[in-house]
Structure 1
Amino acid sequence: MEPKWLEWAKQLQSISQAGLTYSKDVYDLERFEMIRNISIDIMAHYTELAHSTIKNLFANETGYATPKVDIRAVVFKDDKILMVREKMDGKWSLPGGWADIGQTPAEVAVKEVKEEAGFVVRAKKLLAVMDMKCHPHPPSAYHIYKIFIQCEIVGGQAEQGLETSDVQFFAESELPELSVGRNTDSQIKMAFRYIKNPETPVYFD
């Protein structure tokens, strides 16, 4: 679903990053740096962001390029889904965030719910692993996998966090305005389907 220019820019960035990491020849390093600059030029042309901003956010990593991982906790109570209002855009999302080094996906889901919503939860089941590019999110400079983990409340109470301004449960028919960079309407409805049909296989891609 992402535009071709973004796909090409990310591929060029990935090639250049690997080349700059593993190449030893000075002329090859120069060529890979040129490829990286082309990827930055593409992003700058289509987004109107400054080259320096793009380089810091998009082309600043080293090593072999791999997808980033975003983990979202799916928590239900009385047939309603737990959501938090993001301070960044004022819209709503499932509790979650980037995966942390040294923590399992389940541990990240539990941590994010506590930090963003105040509840103590237990991770129960993997629901889905999605490639963000295959779903109706806004274009992203990063290649992102999204992991959705069902959790159950075992303690705590609703409390906003450093990055959230409100915590509520919503029925499927009363969903708020979503922060679509974090989760889409189709993903939230998918979560409701899993609750209604627990034997549904894990979704991937």
Structure 2
Amino acid sequence: MENRLSLLDHIRSIAQLGLRYANNPYDIERYEKLLDLASKEYSELSDIKQSIIIEKFKSELGHITPKIGVGGVILSTDGKMLLERRSDDETWGIIGGWCDTGESPQESLKREYLEETGLNVKVNELIDIFTRKPGDFGQPHTSYHLLFVCEILDGSMQASFESIEIGFYNISEVEKWHGDHFDMVKRAYDFINSK
């Protein structure tokens, strides 16, 4: 299935680039057909309505690049990690989200922390970059996720509408992780303990 999703990602990218640059009405029609076929296949593989997928695809015309996400880890003095239980799927994960245009990854992560926890943080070292390919964790696109070490500057910790609860936890207490967040957590501990 991974090869099929990768192929669909390439077809979608070609169609969207073609729609951005084509001037010939016949070429535009062909690229729209390609985009329609790709969205139909994505729909069958993901159980997401084709109309939703095609709407997302059509809103991203132009050169298709990977999406960028950020996440940050903060450890307490006793080695517990700041985690959130997400309201969208009730799984546990690190604090983070998608980068917005016009923001650096560090600015995006500061914004995500403030929105999700009420905390102002300092973004320190880059731990690693995680790659998710089409089909990984139900996403139809390639994305890169930058993982940073952070520290709390100030603020009052409180959960937002995106979280059911937040706090410092031993990772052994967590039963259900969001996507690849457990891999990120393990990598963060390895990075921090190697210093």
- 2:80 maps to 80
Does the CA contact (< 8 Å) of 1:84 and 1:164 recur in 2?
yes
1:194 to 170, 174, 191: 191
Amino acid at match of 2:69: D
Mapped contact 2:16–2:57 kept (Cα < 8 A): no
CA distance in 2 between partners of 1:174 and 1:115 (Å): 25
Aligned to 2:3: 4
1:22 equivalent in structure 2: 21
In the TM superposition, residue 140 of structure 1 has moved relative to its aligned partner by: 0.9
Q: Partner of 2:140 in structure 1?
A: 141
TM-aligned CA distance change 1:120 to 1:7, over 3 Å: same
The 1:103/1:174 distance shift into structure 2, 3 A limit, reads same
Q: Any idea what SS the aligned residue of 1:19 has?
A: helix
Q: Distance in 1 between matches of 2:83 and 2:130?
A: 19
- 1:68-118 deviation per Cα after TM superposition (whole angstroms, max 9, x unaligned): 111111111121111111111111111111101222111111121121122
2:105 equivalent in structure 1: 105
Residues in 1 aligned to 2:4 and 2:141: alpha-carbon distance in whole angstroms: 13
Q: Secondary structure at the match of 1:20?
A: helix
Structure 1 counterpart of 2:181, which letter? T
What is the one-letter code of the residue matched to 1:63? Answer: G
The superposition leaves residues 137-160 of structure 1 with CA deviations (integer Å, 9 ceiling, x where unpaired) of 413112111111111112223211
TM-score (norm 1): 0.86
Find the aligned partners of 1:68 and 1:143 in 2 and give their Cα distance: 7
Provide Cα deviations, 1:48-77, integer angstroms capped at 9, x if missing partner: 433212212344311111111111111111
- In 2, Cα distance between the equivalents of 1:108 and 1:50? 30
2:155 corresponding residue in structure 1? 156
TM-score for both structures, normalised by structure 2: 0.91
Task: Find the counterpart in structure 2 of residue 130 from structure 1.
Answer: 130
Single out whichever of 53-62 and 31-40 deviates more from structure 2: 53-62
Gaps in structure 1 of 5+ consecutive residues:
199-205
CA contact (8 A) 2:35 2:54 kept: no
Identity %: 27
Aligned-pair distance for 1:40?
1.3
Give ranges in structure 2 of 5+ residues lacking alignment: none
Q: Which runs of 4+ in 1 moved over 6 A?
A: none
**Cα RMSD, aligned residues only:** 1.9
- Pair 1:150–1:192, CA change in 2 (3 A): same
